[in-house]
Every structure is written in C-alpha cells, then in structure tokens.
Amino acid sequence: ETGVTQTPRHLVMGMTNKKSLKCEQHLGHNAMYWYKQSAKKPLELMFVYSLEERVENNSVPSRFSPECPNSSHLFLHLHTLQPEDSALYLCASSLGSGGLGSGANVLTFGAGSRLTVL
Amino acid sequence: QKEVEQNSGPLSVPEGAIASLNCTYSDRGSQSFFWYRQYSGKSPELIMSIYSNGDKEDGRFTAQLNKASQYVSLLIRDSQPSDSATYLCAVRVDTGRRALTFGSGTRLQVQP
C-alpha cells in the first residue's frame, strides 16, 4: 500500500458510457497527477493539480475531464471514450514546491485503474 | 527526438552479475533524475534519485549522472531474480514544471 488509493482497479465500459476514476492520497501531499500508461509507450502525463488548481494539461481530449475537489482527492471523468483509450491510468501525488533535492518531484503512484473500452 | 530515451530491452543478465541500465535525455536544463521500478501488473515505485553529477549509491543500486553527456544510468550489483522488472527513467525537464517526463522503460530479466 503506497498511500495512494485508486478505484476501481478494473473498468470495462462501452463507448457511450460515462464513468469516473477516483484517486485518494493519505500522504499529506499537495499535488496530484493523472498519467496514462499504454503498452510499450512511455507514461504520458495527462493532468497536474497543485493545491487543487490545474497547473498542467497535456493536450488531452475533452472526453477526459479531471476534477480535484481538495488536495486529497482526484477524479477522472470519462465519457464517449474510444477503444484506443484502453490503458492503465495511474494517479500519483507529490509534496510541496521545494527546491532541488526536496520531495517536490518524488511521485508516489497508486496501483492504477485498468480501463478497457469496448 | 524523444525527451527521455531508454533501450526497451529485454536486458538479460545472469544472477549475481551487474545489470547496467542507461537513459539519455534531450533537455540540457534538466535538474532532477529518477529511476522507478515497475513489476508486471504493478505501479511504478521510486528506487533512486540523483541531482548532481557523479555517482550515488544505495545498497546494491548505483545511479550515475553525467549532465555534459545528458546521460543517466542505473547499476544493479549482485542482480537477483527479484530484480526482474521494467526500470523507468524519469526527468524533470523544465524548472517551471512539477511533473516528470518518463522514458518507455527497460525490461530487465535476471536469469537464475
């Protein structure tokens, strides 16, 4: 258990469904991230929230909609997805905005949500 | 050019040997470098971080950084079958960004 909990662990949905992925961190971190991991490709950053404000958005299609109601919770709302969106979605968190050598860049990942779009 | 490049492998080494994993990055302004290990079906976990040129040792692991050559490596001494995993190199490529940029990972197989 890393202190970052993701639910559900597995999700199968049709292209017309609406579903949400949830992430919760118990580490006292103040930044949260969504990454997408597809087979044989690098982890792709999707969104970054710092102090509940979205600070990075990597040209993600609008069918993915993030929500960060507080510094401990992060959601990824999914609607009208495509089969190519099938992947492992990883949530991560980190602490603070300190300088070099601080914990600011140390990401702690959740176990991931394996999404299959039919 | 990819921002962070790794050989996908698999890299196969016998048990007890030294495994050497390499990573190159494109942004000369990069400041922070990390190695994550990811077992099959699991999430990445941090094993090493390095911020300045030279070597950093932690148990059987040694990270090496050469900013002039834009190169970072991970050495695993006395490799064990339990070290078999995918090793992800991650770089903070811009001081204005919080997130890390990852390579696609090198799969390591340690043969008993």
Transcribe B43-71 into DSSP letters: --EEEEEE-SSEEEEETTEEEEEETTTTE
Query: B98 vs A56: CB contact, 8 Å cut-off?
Result: yes
Give which of A42, A64, A3, A98 is closest to B98, Cα–Cα: A98
> Model confidence at B70, in pLDDT bands (50, 70, 90)?
very high
Pairing of strands B106-111, A10-13: unpaired
What are the φ/ψ torsions at residue A40 (nearest 5 degrees)? 60, 20
Q: Coil, strand or helix: which one is B81?
A: helix
pLDDT for the residue A52:
78
pLDDT for the residue B8:
85
> Model confidence at A100, in pLDDT bands (50, 70, 90)?
low
Query: B99 vs A48: CB contact, 8 Å cut-off?
Result: yes
Report the distance separating Cα A78 and Cα A82, nearest Å: 10
Query: B43 vs A33: CB contact, 8 Å cut-off?
Result: no
Chain A residues within an 8 Å CB radius of B99 = 33, 45, 48, 56
In tens, the pLDDT along A19-61 reads: 999 999 999 998 899 999 998 788 999 999 987 778 777 789 9
Token couple for A97: 């905005």
Evaluate whether B92 touches B72 at the Cβ level (below 8 Å).
no
pLDDT for the residue B5:
93
pLDDT for the residue A16:
86
CA distance B102 to chain A (A): 6
pLDDT for the residue A96:
61
Chain B residues within an 8 Å CB radius of A56 = 97-99
Chain B residues within an 8 Å CB radius of A90 = 43-44
Q: Is the dihedral of CA B2, B4, B5, B8 positive or negative?
A: negative
Evaluate whether B13 touches B106 at the Cβ level (below 8 Å).
no
Query: A100 vs B31: CB contact, 8 Å cut-off?
Result: yes
| Averaged pLDDT for residues A93-108 | 70
> Model confidence at B45, in pLDDT bands (50, 70, 90)?
very high
pLDDT for the residue A104:
62
